Amino acid sequence: MDYLCAQSTGISMILCSNPLAQYLSQKTEIDEAIRRVLDSGRYVLGPEVQAFEEEFARYLGVSSGIGVGSGTEAIHLALAACGLQAGDEVITVSHTAVATVAAIELAGGRPVFVDIDPVSYGLDSSQLEKAITGKTRVIMPVHLYGQPADLDAIMNIARRYRLRVIEDCAQAHGALYQGRRVGSWGDLACFSFYPTKNLGALGDGGMVVTDAPDLAARARLLRQYGWAERNMSSLPGWNTRLDEMQAALLRVKLRNLDDQNAKRRRLAQFYTGALQGTDLVLPRALEGTTHVYHLYVVRSRQRDKLMNFLRDRGIGGLIHYPVPVHRQPAYQGRIGGAARLDETERAAGEVLSLPMYPELTEPEAQQVVAAVLAFDGEKI
């Protein structure tokens, strides 16, 4: 939605993300994959989906993938596969895409928020134990902006309290934590293939992955009416399926994912080198992690002025996210838990995402840097 807004202004902007550029860079292969599906007569949950599930699971180092309709549905399905009951508590963060929280409620869970660590933007593991109650069933860290959350500490606490961990990996396809892909740490993990994500479809899509055969089997049943065989529901499921066209083109894009993430990292390195010495707080990749820069997020006390300044110069910065979930009308006063969320509130007022996608050209990156430096020079 973000990028569509930017395009509809009609002026040529350097967009924050650019799925069209991504499609064009692999157009021949993607068109060929789509044509293959069109001619096959199989359009939903067929051989392309199965192949993509296997390839993506292997890429992550887990045994199973279950393709679904979106990232939101992946979270819904993962929670259902864990047997979440109405009123069970799921600990997560408020500084995230609303989808994380919406999906918890869709599954009947009660979201409980923990503050974020201001460097990783992930769940602050030092605040985690305080949030655990007798009703807690699941911890859901979000690897925000492409940076892995503090998995070691989170996994240790989860084991101690016998809680499930479900990773929200919607912004972190390919990111590594201590040499292992995120998505292979928790009991289950959830991915989105929304067009702007690091691995993006040309439509909606998502996947649940897991290394546990029993959880995989339950998720697979629940995805399609609980059917073990056609027209015989063995569990009360619903429908959230991945289609063949998205799976076929995602297979093409998966082959290029590591290259594309490397390009994002090079662009991040360029920004960080060029913006050193300004008033901005720049993103830092934590030791032992490989950040995949879904977004390049800087912080400024003058964030709104900076954003307008950039926009006037044809640069589309965006805010991820301007209002924490617990402050939004749908949730305010109704959910949250007891914790103070000071870092969450502070981040919402200061973060700004600069243009970040693998196809961004060097002159464009220089234009972004020049505009930010001009703003910093004026010290408005």
Ligand X SMILES: *Cc1c(COP(=O)(O)O)cnc(C)c1O
**What HEC string does the chain produce?**
CHHHHHHHCCCCCECCCCHHHHHHHCHHHHHHHHHHHHHHCCCECCHHHHHHHHHHHHHHCCCEEEEECCHHHHHHHHHHHCCCCCCCEEEEECCCCHHHHHHHHHCCCEEEEECECCCCCCECHHHHHHHCCCCEEEECCECHHHCCCCHHHHHHHHHHCCCEEEEECCCCCCCEECCEECCCCCCEEEEECCCCCCCCCCCCCEEEEECCHHHHHHHHHHHECCEEECCEECCCCCECCCEHHHHHHHHHHHHHHHHHHHHHHHHHHHHHHHHCCCCCECCCCCCCEECCCCCEEEECCCHHHHHHHHHHCCECCECCCCCCHHHCCCCCCCCECCCCCHHHHHHHHHEEEECCCCCCCHHHHHHHHHHHHHHHHHCC
CB of 165 to ligand X, least distance (A): 15
Stretch that binds ligand X, among 114-122, 163-171, 227-235, 330-338 (CB under 6 A): 163-171
The answer to the question of residue 240 lying near ligand X (CB under 6 A) is: no
Say which amino acid occupies 356: M
Binding mask 114-153 vs ligand X (x if CB under 6 A, - otherwise)?
----------------------------x-----------
Binding mask 19-58 vs ligand X (x if CB under 6 A, - otherwise)?
----------------------------------------
CB of 320 to ligand X, least distance (A): 8
The answer to the question of residue 97 lying near ligand X (CB under 6 A) is: yes
The answer to the question of residue 168 lying near ligand X (CB under 6 A) is: yes
CB of 1 to ligand X, least distance (A): 9
User: What is the footprint of ligand X within residues 190-209 (CB under 6 A)?
Assistant: 192, 194, 204, 206
The answer to the question of residue 297 lying near ligand X (CB under 6 A) is: no
CB of 151 to ligand X, least distance (A): 16
CB of 66 to ligand X, least distance (A): 15
Stretch that binds ligand X, among 79-87, 164-172, 227-235, 351-359 (CB under 6 A): 164-172
Quick one: 194 or 296, whose CB is closer to ligand X? Answer: 194
User: What is the footprint of ligand X within residues 169-188 (CB under 6 A)?
Assistant: 170-171
The answer to the question of residue 72 lying near ligand X (CB under 6 A) is: yes
22, 70, 240, 289: residue in contact with ligand X (rule CB under 6 A): 70
The answer to the question of residue 99 lying near ligand X (CB under 6 A) is: yes
Site of interaction with ligand X (CB under 6 A):
70-72, 96-97, 99-100, 142, 168, 170-171, 192, 194, 204, 206
